Every structure is written in C-alpha cells, then in structure tokens.
Structure 1
Amino acid sequence: MRDSSIALNPTTSGIKSSSFLDNVFIIFSLFFFALPQTTMGASINQIVVNCAMLSITLLFTFPIISTMVRVIFTDKILLVFICYCFMSLLWSAVPIITLIFLLKIITATLFAYYIVLKYNAEVFFKYIIIFLMISAVLSFVLGILFPQYFIHQGINHTGEWKGIFGHKNALGTICAIGIFTTEIWFLTKKTNKVIAGLYFGLFSVLLFLSSSRTAIVVSLICLVIPIIYRVYKNLYNIHRSLFVSFIFFGTIGTAGTIYIVTSNLDFLFSLLDRTPTLTGRTEIWAVVREFIYERMWFGYGGGGFWYSSYALDVWNILNYPGLSSSHSGILDFLLDFGVIGLVIISVHYFFVLIRAVKLSFLKGGITIWFLVFVLFILINNYSDSRFLNTTSIFWVLYVCSSVFTKKQLGTSPQHNFTPL
C-alpha cells in the first residue's frame, strides 16, 4: 500500500493532475462553505460574495463541463430535487430569499461535482482531513488569543467556545465530523497514527469546550459505528449465515436499546444537564408544526419561512425574537419544501445509504467514511438543523458522498484500501 501521508496525490482517472492552484481552490472553498459569514443570512454582501464564488467555481469547472453534465444526469433523483428547489420559487413566501438560497445551493453543488470528477475517494478524504485539521488549530489558537471573538460573550452561552464557526453548536458539529474522521484515519492508515491521535484529542477538547450536548451525543454514536461495522464485516467474511443471524439479533438489540433509552429519558437528560424539552426545542417544534400544516405539501420555498412574516408570528408565540431555525433539520426541510420535497430527498437518501453500505463492505478502508457521514446527517438533524438550513458544507459533503459512492461502485477497484 502507498504511504498514507497527507500529501495530495493525483487521481489516475485520466483527468489532469492536481496543481497548486487546484489545492488552494479546494481548501479555500471548503472553508468558504463552512463559515457562516459566507453562506448564512440574506443581504447584498451575501449575494456579492456568493456570485463571486459561483464565478470562481465556474472558471474551474469549465474545462470539464461536458463530463460534469453527463455525471449530473446519472444521479437523476438528486437532479429532480434540485429542479424542485428551483420550482419552489413559484410559491416562495419570500422569492428574493429563495433566489439567494438557490445561488448558494447551485454553487455548492457545482463544487461538489468538481471534487468528484477531479479526484478519487482517497484524495477527497485527504482534503477533508486537511480542512478539519486547519479548522481545529485555528479554532483553538484563536480562542486562546482572541476569546472576545471566538468564545461566546454576554448572556447566552457565556464562556462556551464557538471557534471560527460563529456558534457553539456549529463548532460542535464540525468537531463531531472531525472525531469520526480522525478515528477512521487512525484505523485505516499504517502511518500518521500519532498525528491522527493528537487531532482526535484536539477535536474532543474543542467539543467539550463548545458544550454542545447534541454534538457530544452524536459524536459518541458515530464513534461506535466503525466498530460495529468492523464486527459485521469480519462476520460477513467468516460466515454469511452467521452474519445474517447477527443482523437479526442486532436489530432486536437495537430496538431494545431504543426502548430502554426512551423509557429513561429524564435520567439521561439529567446526566447531560438538560431537560426532556431539549433546551426548549420541543416547544419550538410544537409551534413550527402548526405552520408546516398550513403549507404541508410544498412548503414556503427554499429558505423562505424564516425571513417571512410567518417567522414573526413564531417569535411572538414563543417570545423568542430572532429565532432563525426550528433546531430540527427535518422540520426546517418541511418548512422549505413540504412533504413532496421531503419524499424526494428521502428516496435519494435511501439509495445513497444503500450504496454507502455496499461500498464499505466491498472496498473497506476510508470508504467507511461515506457510510458514517450519511448516518451522521440523519442522526444530527434530529435536534439540530445542519443540512440545508445552515452553512453549505453539509450539502457539499452529502453530494460528494452521493456521487462518490455511485462512481466507486460503478468502477473496478483502483486502490488497495486497508480493510477497516
């Protein structure tokens, strides 16, 4: 197996090798899509900045645009969803906001396709590692040097770290991704064990400094997934019937665990210093559901609800001025796109999940990252909104996971990945 250093090696798929400019563009873009200053909110500055980013992305994608078009049409369900997003302009509560939303999602989607076409899965994984490593170092160093800017001040969340991502929950979510990514890096590479372990520790420290309870729980769940995968992968290789038996008993065990957890929620929340209302989230959900029922099928248009007069009604009912999210990815998705949109993305998600499972069993190694990330999207969006109602990085990684799993399963193995 080749050395597993972080140096970016070009893909052997026939496309030009990566240049210094390519590397700078990809790392810069990952930060652009991850920072709230560049991908959240609605203002003239947002329009200018995202138009500039779209122009840069088009400049890089232009040489491979014909290949990109062909690949886009191979993922038809994703294409249907993006078309549906554009259609939501017709019934948007605030059309200008939906236009800004579409500008952002198109830019993020084009960038994701650029990565998939330009590089293989292993190089993509190295880019993610570099992005996460720089994020961790910057958040930690700047938090120490300039706490007034990178640690929450004032009444809300005083003393809790937000790093370069603007909010403690945003930092916590990135740390959750960093933790399971460095875990996979540690388990699948022969070298860099010490570096992987150090960054695993740094992400863990930042996670606890952020005090994001949701991210802590999600991190623990995602940490277990590669271990469970490894057990089932070994069983699959040893004896197929034994594998099926463990799937059956594993399902029963999972159902039992869920029953025990739901029966002891008060105790578990007390351990996390939280109440069963999830810091007031359940009250928000109850109010938001009433507005979902009003436009149940189509929603309020991409990004439209929280910038409309309906949001003012929510603020008044909850006495929570400035609320810009329901703190539930599913509910925010229903607000934006309704039941029809949710059905489309759910069908797409199901196929991505199946491909991720299949790919992880066929090739192993770092391909397990796609499976963990796809599960992470589902788990994390139960009590937080980190999909389309936030920074674009989660959509970028989701599209990459979708197209990479499709691409990897459609080609013969090109890399000798280390089994997890």
Structure 2
Amino acid sequence: MKLLLGAEKIFTVISLLTLTGAWFPRLYEIISGESLIVLTSEGVVALQIPFYSIYITTFALILLRWRKIIQALVKGKLLLLLVAIAIVSILWSDAPAITLRRSLAVSGATSFGIYFATRYSHKEQLHLLAWTFGIAVLSSILFTIALPAYAIVPDPNSTALGSVLQGVYIHKNVFGRMMTLSTIVLAIVAFSDSKSRYLAWITLSLAVSQVLLSFSTSSWIILAIVIALFPLYRALRWNFSWMLLLYIAVALFCGGLAVLITSNLDLVLNSLGKDLTLTGRTKVWSAVIDKIGERPWLGYGYSAFWRGNEGASAYVRLASGWKVAFSHNGLLDLWLDLGLIGVSVYLIGFFKAYTQAITWMRWSKTSYGLWHLILLTFIFLTNFSESTILKSNDIFWVLYTATYFSLSQSSIDA
C-alpha cells in the first residue's frame, strides 16, 4: 500500500511539473528548431501526449474516489459552470474544431485540479508543490550549467548584458512567473514547522536568484508586491480594530504610491525599459475592446479568437502593429472567448474563493493557511499583463481549480 501511495505522489509531482511547461516544450524547440512563442503548444500533437496521459490517469484515480469527488462537485458549481460554458461555446465558436480540442484539454486540467484538491490536504498540497517547484528550480540551474546556449538567450531590450535566463522554459516571462510561484510556495514551506524547511530555505534562495536573472520586470514587480502582502495577510488574524487600522494604512500607502507612479509615469516606465504604451499592450487592449464590442455577450468561442492572421484576430494585429497571440490580459481574453457571461461567472467565483481564503487563513494558525490567499493574489496580479484564466494544460488554472475546490469543501484539513 505504501508503495502505491508513493507512486501516486510521484505521478502527482511529475504531472504538476509537466503542467508548469517545463522541459517538454523547450526540448521540442531545441530538436525541431521551431519557436513555440509563434507556434503554440496546443497545435503540436507530440506535446499533447504527456498532457492526455496525465488526464487519462487522473480520470482513473477519480473513479476510485468517486463518492468524494461527487461531494466536491456539488460545492464547486460556479467553476464547473464556467467550464461548461467553454464546452458549449462550440455552438457559436468561430473555430469549432479548436474549441472542441481545447475545451477537452481544459476539462482535463480542471479534473486534475479537482483530484489534487480532494486527494490531498492543504499541507500535503504545499509539500507536493514544494517538491515540484524545487525540481523546476534545480533542473533549470543544471540545464543552464550543462547547455548555457539554450538556457541563456539574447534579449538586448531587457538588460545591458544583452541576454536573459529562461532555464527549462520557452520564454523569460514564463520562466519568471514559474520562479516567482516557486518562491511563494517554498517561502510558505520554509516558514512552517516542517522538517524540510531547511531544504526549502536553500531552494528558496536559488528560486529568488532565478527570478532576478530572468529579467522579467513583471515577475519582479509581482514578487515584490506578494512579499509586501505576506505580513499584511498574516495581520488579518488580529482582532477587528487592528484590522481596521491596517486597512487604513494600506489604503493610504496604495493611494500615495498611485499618485507617485502617476506623476512620474515616464520615469517609472523608462526605468523598467518600457515605453508609454507598455510595450504596445495598450494598443492591443484598445483593438481587443473594439472586437469585444462586436460580440459582447458570448464572445467568439473558447480559444477561437486568436488565430494569427485569420479571423477577428487579424484586426488586432493590424491595429496594434504587433504579431500578438493573446491580449496580455486575462479578463480581456476570457471576454473574447466567452463574453460578459463567462467573465461574470468567473469573477463571482473568484471573489467567492477570495473571501473563503480570508476566512480559512484567519482560522488557520500555520503558514500553510496563507497559501490559498497568496495564490489568488498572485493570479489576480498576473492577469493584468498575462492570460492564465481558464487555460488548457496550464498550472495556474489547475492550482486555481484546486484552491477553489479545497476552499469549497465543508471539512478542510490543515
């Protein structure tokens, strides 16, 4: 029995690592010579094999615990409704074949998130994630040492050195996000009373160095914000009067910071190596909003909008002057996919999970209790400039699903 349980944990860690986008996409790029930044991984059959292997195995494991799964599904109706809308959107999709394929993939990713939430306690989830991201950190370092020509790539716009680190991932921003998430997970474990906290501290220091070497300014900013929020979230465990004073202090700080940034926008953006259009993103957003206005309620169908120079996305490329493959904003991409209806369902579910995360954190007295609240904050911040909402074969959607169902369960283990 112990052997089977150990094998299941190994399967979980390998699955989580695969869902981060480590190794397989990068190796494909090296072998084929094709860039997956241009050719998305969803269109590469060879890269789908690991994911569908994970989902088939997950389905078998779910069947073994079907009673517990059904109990969880009853309490996660909003998230399931969002996935159902994605599947049904094939009826109005501009690209039904793409919608069908990717809705199956996002259903698989959702299933894995549900399995992860119902199979493991909060503490077990954090430890498995610590192993996952620890492997991601160490393998990126080893990859950089062994094959620096592939792990370190030219990028004169990001650093005076003319190159950035991307490790075992396909882009510096992907690498930066994963190392930031690694830092968060490892920090929570390191601050716990876990026997492995010393190992977590060592790996944490390596993860922080990887974030810095990615030269992903968005990752730097998000990590700084999350670090600042750690003690503030812990303070939510205090009595109400202290909480009220804290909220006032935070509001004043954020207001002052907003004024400072607004009044020195040119200086701030130039210091980050960006122009006033945020690397062209505002032009993209403007064009995307134009297309949203044409089909505001139901969108263009799940994953059916961005098709290069085909269909509606051609207008965005032409208007922005940028060969963009997504809108660089999570809510805008969701709006394009599933319209205002899909966005509304997601936001209601997100705020429900956020309030539950605050409640859970206040009741929990360990560092593990911070995990769900910090993760939701990280997802919220990330989706200002990237798109990770309802994405197939994606670790962020898996973890959001796991958090949603973990918090929705009436009995939660610490």
Please indicate the TM-score interval, normalised by the length of the shorter structure: 0.7 to 0.9
Cα distance in 2 for residues equivalent to 1:100 and 1:147: 36
- Offset at residue 391 of structure 1 (A): 4.8
TM-score where L is the length of structure 1: 0.86
Q: CA contact under 8 A between 1:301 and 1:336: conserved in structure 2?
A: yes
Q: 1:111 to 1:288 in 2, by over 3 A?
A: same
* Shift in Å, 1:187: 2.0
1:114 corresponds in structure 2 to 115
Name the aligned partner's letter for residue 271 of structure 1.
S
Equivalent residue for 1:6?
A: none
Superposition pairs of residues 180-259 of structure 1, within 5 angstroms: 180-189=184-193, 191-233=195-237, 235-236=238-239, 240-259=240-259
For 2:322, what is the secondary structure of its paired residue?
A: coil
Residue aligning to 2:373: 371
Tell me by how many angstroms 1:390 deviates. Answer: 6.8
Deviation at 1:319, TM superposition (A): 3.4
Decide whether the 8 Å contact of 1:296 with 1:334 is kept in 2: yes
Which of 167, 170, 174 is equivalent to 1:170?
174
Give how far 1:17 is off. Answer: 9.5
| Matching residue of 1:34 | 20
How many residue pairs get aligned? The number is 393
Alpha carbons 1:150, 1:166 under 8 Å: kept: no
The residue number in structure 2 matching 1:23 is 9
Matches within 5 A, 1:9-408: 19-35=5-21, 37=24, 40-45=41-46, 48-153=49-154, 159-189=163-193, 191-233=195-237, 235-236=238-239, 240-307=240-307, 308-321=310-323, 323-365=324-366, 366-389=368-391, 391-407=393-409
Read off the aligned partner of 2:267 and give its amino acid letter: F
* Distance in 1, Cα, partners of 2:291 & 2:119: 43
Q: CA deviation at 1:351?
A: 0.3
- Aligned counterparts of 1:33 and 1:117: Cα–Cα separation in 2: 18
- Counterpart code for 2:68: T
- The 3 A distance-change label for structure 1 pair 268 and 319 is closer
Residue segments in structure 1 that go unaligned for 5+ positions in a row: 1-9, 11-15, 416-420
| Structure 2 unaligned residues grouped into runs of 5+ | 26-39
How many angstroms apart in 2 are the aligned matches of 1:48 and 1:190?
36
Moved more, 384-393 or 207-216: 384-393
User: Does structure 1 conserve the Cα–Cα contact (< 8 Å) formed by 2:190 and 2:200?
Assistant: yes
Q: CA deviation at 1:245?
A: 3.4
Letter in structure 2 aligned against 1:133: G
Change (3 A) 1:204 1:47: closer
Distance 1:100 1:47 in 2: 11
Cα drift, residue 395 of structure 1: 0.4
Per-residue Cα deviation, 1:123-165 (whole angstroms, up to 9, x for no partner): 0100010000000011111022112322325888762122212
C-alpha RMSD of the superposition: 2.5
Task: Determine the C-alpha separation between the residues in 2 that align with 1:304 and 1:68.
Answer: 31
Distance 1:47 1:177, change over 3 A: closer
Between 123-132 and 47-56, report the one with greater CA deviation: 47-56
Letter paired with 2:376:
V
Answer with 364-373 or 343-352: which moved more.
364-373
Which one-letter code corresponds to 2:54 in the other structure? M
2:79/2:346 contact within 8 Å kept:
yes
Distance, in Å, in 2 between the alignment partners of 1:202 and 1:154 is 22
- State the one-letter code of the partner of 2:313: A
TM-score, normalized by length of structure 2?
0.87
